[in-house]
Structure 1
């Protein structure tokens, strides 16, 4: 693989935030009279709110009320209440440093809002290292649609087959595959190897990928 760039997911990959996001959805739905169990929401982490909401409550849409307010309240809950539960994934900063030192062009692709992304980068202690990103505001449809990954490829000004995505959910893999980008997956987002089928390699967390860096697809370029 001739590799020049990395498309990097954040939630569940560099920060352990998937449980917090799921809990915030449950609470926001409940605050507006909709009962949704954590176990229903958790497997959908990695999927953007515009995709998640109608799957859970078919009559709701982020584009219309009350869905619009539910989504907004959910974001506020993450940033103001659940943020204290979120920790950096093991080895997050060290892996980013290694990739940058190797001369790889790193661009973020996330379904999160710009406000959430800013907070997550600080938690991962990489806000001083990563400056290029595509977020929910850069795409008409969030993951598992390919829009955000395609936007990241365009921002990097590289061919998709010269990039690889590092991510943690089956929705990342689906989005990247549609965009022509291969995926290295990490298990720290809480998904099984079976759910991560389609990834070219799977590691426990960023530190595990860093430990095996030279033998990984990143080191074999």
Structure 2
């Protein structure tokens, strides 16, 4: 169980203010040393590691004995920051990696291998805390500016090739993605994907999740000058729609930060492994375990309001 958390009679995970402060204190003590924009998680802290495991719904590493989610885990929800808050939206904008597909560890491992290939040793746990950013924002966290300028393009190309050859085949869609998209579209809303990844990777994930025909629009790194936590990708996803008529669903603090910079509210999913306190601090108005949990609580979620006229 996450630090200081308890389940109510419905199985919802609730964290009071004191316990959130406890978690924040652990991170302030050294687990996050560069702020939400440059988080470095020290997994040596057993309590933080336990929180990470709990947040991922006690799923074992995919491809290495992963266990399916239990029904309570699928339905369990973290209490929203503002339970009465509903958002009249015309579009729901989804992050992809860590939100719809279980790929955060795969990306962290691919970056570690890439850094190693170019002569830099960086811990997978430290890299993992940066996943959600594009390579343009991730590399400067660990490498000097001149190194990024000299080797950055070659490193990104190497990592993409490694990921597509050896790792993308291990990716799995989270439960309930297609069903959630159908529910959103049945309410007359648009489903938009906004990923820091490349178009070919996004196409694979859509097939994996069975959502090829359930997406109204999408943006990728090709549509943005800078990746998250900059707002470029979400601004492109809005495509002229007022920010008050859309909401973001993502798994990382960088999603929430980018959304806020674009004037968007955000719902956080714990499926990417980021602690509840970190997502709340980044601005998420409600938290759910995964897409299936958001679907199960849809009528009580910030998505429940009718679309804007």
Q: 1:159 aligns with which of 242, 258, 264?
A: 242
Give the corresponding residue for 2:169. Answer: 84
SS of alignment partner, residue 166 of structure 1: strand
SS of alignment partner, residue 127 of structure 1: coil
Give the corresponding residue for 2:9. Answer: none
SS of alignment partner, residue 195 of structure 1: helix
Give the structure-1-normalised TM-score: 0.94
Q: Give runs of aligned pairs for residues 2-17 of structure 1, distance below 5 A.
A: 2-17=88-103
Q: Give runs of aligned pairs for residues 1-221 of structure 1, distance below 5 A.
A: 1-59=87-145, 60-61=147-148, 64-154=149-239, 157-197=240-280, 198-221=283-306
SS of alignment partner, residue 66 of structure 1: helix
For structure 1, the residue ranges without an aligned partner over 5 or more in a row are: none
Q: 2: CA distance between counterparts of 1:65 and 1:118?
A: 30
Aligned 8 A contact 2:221 2:233 in 1: yes
Q: 1: CA distance between counterparts of 2:155 and 2:205?
A: 21
Aligned 8 A contact 2:190 2:216 in 1: no
Alpha-carbon offset, residue 131 of structure 1: 4.6
Q: 2: CA distance between counterparts of 1:79 and 1:58?
A: 27
SS of alignment partner, residue 78 of structure 1: helix
For structure 2, the residue ranges without an aligned partner over 5 or more in a row are: 1-86
Alignment root-mean-square deviation, CA: 1.2
Give the corresponding residue for 2:3. Answer: none
Aligned 8 A contact 2:191 2:214 in 1: no
Residue by residue over 1:79-107, the C-alpha shift from the partner in whole angstroms, topping out at 9 and shown as x without a partner, is 11011221101111111111111111111
SS of alignment partner, residue 275 of structure 2: coil
Aligned 8 A contact 2:223 2:236 in 1: yes
Aligned 8 A contact 1:167 1:185 in 2: yes
Alpha-carbon offset, residue 112 of structure 1: 0.5
Segments of 4+ in structure 1 off by > 2 A? none
Alpha-carbon offset, residue 220 of structure 1: 2.6
Alpha-carbon offset, residue 2 of structure 1: 2.0
Give the structure-2-normalised TM-score: 0.68
Count residues with an aligned counterpart. Answer: 217
Q: 1: CA distance between counterparts of 2:110 and 2:287?
A: 28
